[in-house]
């Protein structure tokens, strides 16, 4: 009998598409100090006075446009991934969400009650480092273990943005779309405020200080989201043999008035349409699972933006989800850790 288990962790989703459910989810998400990096009182004022009065209703409508018969796309597709991975492994596999259900706390407690489990291989499903994804997920798992005095060792898988197996899976999953005729492919990554990047720069003088900062070697790259997404793109286009003029990088999901990473995806799509691009592919490698940000923000809203600007067809390349190449990659990682 194995003494190890696997816990996959993703971001999370509302329980339902009603406004009250979305409000609860947004409140939990936005009050995380790693998401809005401001003192508690200021964060509480912004969320309560400027976000929760109006955003939950609009977000609820967005969720309704992509909700599946079984529930939230993120939850449903994550469960499919978990089930597929379980067929490859002889150790228990669980799935948790940082916000909403099933919670990291619930899943860790359940694993701790299984006889003989002494170590949990913890895989935050984020290819790139950010405090608002990776750090908060790890800290929550550590909090649960400490608060409940669980006799469990947490073995965390680091961001895998340029791991060859991950790049292979990403290119493999996108191959059917790349084989079609297209004019341009946009690598659209979830955005971050620039302050999140510079705050994490251990040198204090590298990140966002020059146009080529992501290309110049630096210890800052270990925790630099922008460098890591650029590296993922570079690895992808080299393996898929995509010419420099055929692709570009942009950032989506901008929120609030702070300065965010640029260019914005919708702005880039307008530029492409106005330059004569008729068919564009969009891939979102920051997400391993399709969710609101891909299915609604890109496949619906960004598609409308592209067409209104004169573009023709926008094709969203699905996330890895439970693609066999991705399941095999995760399985190999878990077995390597098992050994």
In which residue are the tokens 């490859």 written?
A: 88
Q: Which residues of 60-152 form beta strands (DSSP E)?
A: 93-100, 119-124
Cis peptide before 127 (omega within 30 of 0): no
φ, ψ of residue 228 in degrees (nearest 5): -70, -35
Eight-state DSSP code of residue 193? B
Annotated binding residue 293: yes
Q: What end-to-end distance do the CA atoms of the chain give, in Å?
A: 14
Q: Could you tell me the strand order of the sheet in which 93-100 lies?
A: 93-100, 4-13, 119-124, 153-156
Alpha helices in 87-213 (DSSP H): 104-112, 136-147, 164-178, 194-199
119 assigned ligand-binding residue: no
- Judge whether 313 and 279 are in contact, CB under 8 Å: yes
What does the alpha-carbon distance between residue 147 and residue 160 come to, in Å, rounded to a whole number? 29
Q: Which residues fall in the annotated binding site for Fe(2+)?
A: 190, 293
Q: Which residues fall in the annotated binding site?
A: 190, 293
């Amino acid at each position: 009998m194995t003494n190890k288990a696997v816990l996959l962790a993703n971001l999370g989703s509302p329980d339902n598409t009603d406004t009250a459910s979305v409000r609860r989810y947004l409140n939990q998400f936005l009050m995380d100090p790693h998401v809005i990096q401001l003192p508690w009182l200021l964060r509480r004022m912004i969320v309560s006075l400027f976000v929760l009065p109006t955003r939950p209703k609009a977000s609820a409508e967005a969720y309704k446009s992509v909700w599946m018969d079984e529930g939230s796309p993120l939850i449903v597709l994550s469960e499919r991934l978990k089930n597929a991975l379980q067929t490859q492994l002889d150790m228990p596999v669980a799935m948790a969400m940082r916000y909403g259900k099933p919670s990291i706390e619930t899943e860790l407690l359940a694993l701790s009650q299984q006889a003989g489990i002494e170590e949990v291989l913890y895989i935050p499903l984020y290819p790139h480092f950010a405090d608002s994804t990776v750090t908060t997920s790890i800290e929550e798992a550590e909090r649960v273990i400490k608060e409940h005095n669980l006799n469990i060792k947490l073995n965390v898988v680091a961001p895998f943005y340029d791991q060859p197996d991950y790049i292979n899976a990403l290119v493999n999953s996108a191959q059917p779309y790349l084989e079609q005729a297209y004019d341009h492919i946009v690598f659209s990554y979830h955005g971050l405020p620039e302050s999140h990047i510079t705050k994490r720069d251990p040198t204090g003088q590298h990140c966002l200080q020059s146009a080529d900062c992501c290309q110049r070697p630096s210890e800052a790259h270990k925790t630099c989201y922008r460098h890591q997404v650029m590296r993922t793109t570079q690895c992808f286009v080299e393996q898929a043999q995509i010419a420099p003029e055929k692709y570009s990088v942009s950032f989506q999901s901008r929120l609030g008035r702070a300065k965010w990473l640029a260019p914005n995806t919708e702005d880039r799509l307008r530029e492409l349409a106005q330059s004569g691009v008729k068919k564009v592919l969009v891939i979102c490698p920051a997400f391993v699972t399709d969710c609101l940000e891909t299915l609604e923000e890109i496949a619906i809203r960004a598609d409308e933006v592209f067409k209104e600007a004169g573009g023709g067809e926008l094709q969203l390349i699905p996330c890895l989800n439970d693609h066999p190449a991705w399941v095999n990659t995760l399985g190999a990682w878990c077995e390597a850790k098992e050994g």
